[in-house]
Amino acid sequence: MTEENIHSTIRPLVTVFLQELMKEYWGPLYNHIKNNPALIKTVPGFLLDHQGIIVYVGRTHIAIEYTGPEVISELKNEGVMQVQCHDYSTKDCNLFEQIIGFEYDSTLDLSMPLPPFSEDLLLPTNKGWDKLSELGWNFAAQNSIMGFNIPSPEPMPGQFTRIVNGMFFDADESGLKSRRIKWLDFFPIHFDGSEEKSDCISFSVSNMKKLVNHDANYSYPMPDDYKYIQLPKINRFIEVWGNKDNTEPDITSHIARKENEFILTMKFGAIEIHSELTCEWQSEPRSPIRPDFFVVQPNGYADIVEFKLPDIGKHAIVGGRNRETFGAWLNSYISQTRVYSSYFDDPNNRKWFEQRYGFKVHKPRRWLIVGRRHDFDSDVWREIMSDYKDLEILTFDDLIDGIVVQFYK
């Protein structure tokens, strides 16, 4: 287990929590599957193949989110578990909204208690509902628990809560925002902040023993075409960008393969994609540019998608309070996409490009794919991002979520 992303102040709490979970749940679940090998084909793979988990510490709950493959073919005897952690214990907030990354905009001034167990939740914000309707989302295509104009969902204090295959949506001027949760468990905690110099947090996971047999026999809900046709391709893409030895060209060349083009066409609503087209300047002597991808929309105009690495290893935001700004490395990426936009501001360039490649680009929206969701999770980040025109930054997690949820339409 690696714990680089665990803050030192809550490291002891998270370490003990994971150790107890291993003793009371993960270990017994592994042994149960080992003794009943026929269950390997149906048990949710990420409960056993811990490629990554995310721990969220709040005032009333500790939550754990599983990432990884939905299906596995064998049990692993050993492996490395990547642990990410977010500490909201000192913040008066809705832990669920912090996890999904956006706030609900209901006209009702109250909260919605999450039930102890929820499968196939589909809960858009009001803006999300409007955007889904505009895009022609088929709400009747699957069995889901849906809500309209719902207040902010929250786990009840003192109650264990589980969300399985939850899909949550919001929207802004850049378009639809998707957040899929494969499996999320909320464990109730007792938080005592009465001491001036320290806080006391207590919890229990002993009841997880009772869920071992249930979870071992649980079949994760997935549409067949996703499970048997596209899921292996998406998993392979995750393996490519999840390998730190792979470069940006490794990632983009993988997506550019014909069998993988659906990754971008589904996410960006495109009818076709074109990779690394050379754009020669017509009005001034400058070196040609080659954006990673053009994603052509149904109206015949294309937007630009540029990939960077998922493992950034640097701070996205620098500067003191009220003087925050993006780090120099991120600003350099943004400047690169700005050059792309400048190229298509010149009508001579646009004419040359259309004649050569057969589609139009004018005032393109620029999409920068970089980092992981935990790299961009602060309110300050969203405030800075709102100052940029025609630019949207997506994480690799956002990209995958935006694809997967469409299989449930």
Query: Does 127 share its domain with 272?
Result: no
Mean pLDDT of the chain: 86
Q: Look at 51 and 250; give whichever has higher pLDDT.
A: 250
Q: How far apart are CA 11 and CA 3, in angstroms?
A: 8
Q: Are residues 238 and 183 in the same domain?
A: no
- Residue at a domain's end among 221, 248, 277: 221
Is residue 394 classed exposed, middle or buried when 0-12, 13-18 and 19+ CB atoms within 10 A define those classes?
A: buried
The domain total for the chain is 2
Q: Which one of 221, 251, 271 terminates a domain? A: 221
Q: Is the pLDDT reported for residue 359 higher than 60?
A: yes
Residue-by-residue DSSP string for 322-334: T--EE-HHHHHHH
**Does the pLDDT at position 193 exceed 80?**
no
More confident of the two residues 81 and 85: 85
Q: Are residues 14 and 55 in the same domain?
A: yes
Q: Global pTM?
A: 0.71
Cα distance between residue 37 and residue 33, in whole Å: 6
Residues 41 and 179 in one domain: yes
Q: Which of 76-80, 86-90, 145-149, 207-211 has the lowest mean pLDDT?
A: 76-80
SS3 134: helix
Closest CA to 397 of 161, 177, 203: 177
Rounded Cα distance, 115 and 119, in Å: 10
Question: pLDDT-based confidence at 7, cuts 50/70/90?
Answer: low
Q: Do 208 and 235 belong to one domain?
A: no
pLDDT confidence tier of residue 377, bands split at 50, 70 and 90? low
32-46, 195-209, 245-259: lowest mean pLDDT where? Answer: 195-209
Same domain, 10 and 31: yes
Q: Which amino acid is at 122?
A: L
DSSP per-residue codes, 342-398? HHTTSHHHHHHHHHHHSSB-SSPPEEEE-S-GGGS-SHHHHHHHTT-SSEEEE-HHH
Q: Considering 221, 252, 273, which residue would you say is the last residue of a domain?
A: 221
Examine the domain organization and report whether 261 and 152 are in the same domain: no
Q: How many angstroms separate the CA atoms of 409 and 404, rounded?
A: 10
268 and 347 assigned to the same domain: yes
- Do 209 and 238 sit in the same domain of this protein? no
Contact 319, 325 (CB under 8 A): yes
Q: Is 209 in the same domain as 240?
A: no
> What CATH number did the domain enclosing 264 receive?
3.40.1350
Rounded-to-integer distance, Cα 80 and Cα 142, Å: 35
pLDDT in tens, 272-326: 999 999 999 999 999 999 999 999 999 999 999 999 998 887 777 777 666 677 7
Q: What's the gap between Cα 324 and its chain centre?
A: 24
**Quick one: 120 and 212 in the same domain?**
yes
Specify whether 133 is located in the same domain as 245.
no
- Block residue for tokens 């780090």: 327
Could you give the 3-state DSSP secondary structure of residue 406?
helix
For residue 183, the enclosing domain spans 2-221
Average pLDDT over residues 8-16: 80
H/E element holding 265?
A: helix 262-268
